[in-house]
Amino acid sequence: MKKAALKYVIFVAAALMVMYGMVNGEPETVAQKATKVCLECIGIG
């Protein structure tokens, strides 16, 4: 596949991945983790 076409394919695939993730409730999971102090993330837990 030509390089020029590949980047469009990747862009569309990435957009579809984001949409699939949204339908699958992934933004809520991200927010759930990000709205609490992650003790593990900061080296405490």
Partner 1 sequence: MDNKDIKKGMRKRKAVQFGFGLLQNAYIKGFLDKSIYSGRLKKLCVPGLNCHSCPGALGACPIGGLQSLFDGRRRQTGFYVLGWLAMAGILAGRFVCGWLCLFGLIQELLYMIPVPKITVPEKADRKLRYLKYVILALFVVVLPLAYRGGSGSGVPFFCKYICPAGTLEAGVPLVLLWDGMRGAVGGLFLWKSTLLVLTLAASMMIYRPFCRYICPLGAFYALFQKISFTRLALDKSRCIDCGRCTAVCKMGVNVTHDPNSAECIRCGECVSACPEKALHFGYDGRVRPADGEA
Which residues form the interface with partner 1 (CB under 8 A)?
3-4, 6-7, 10-11, 13-22, 24-45
CB of 1 to partner 1, least distance (A): 11
- Among residues 17, 38, 37, the alpha carbon closest in space to that of 27 is found at 17
CB of 2 to partner 1, least distance (A): 10
CB of 17 to partner 1, least distance (A): 3
Measured between alpha carbons, how far is 33 from 23 in angstroms, rounded to an integer?
18
- Among residues 39, 13, 36, the alpha carbon closest in space to that of 21 is found at 13
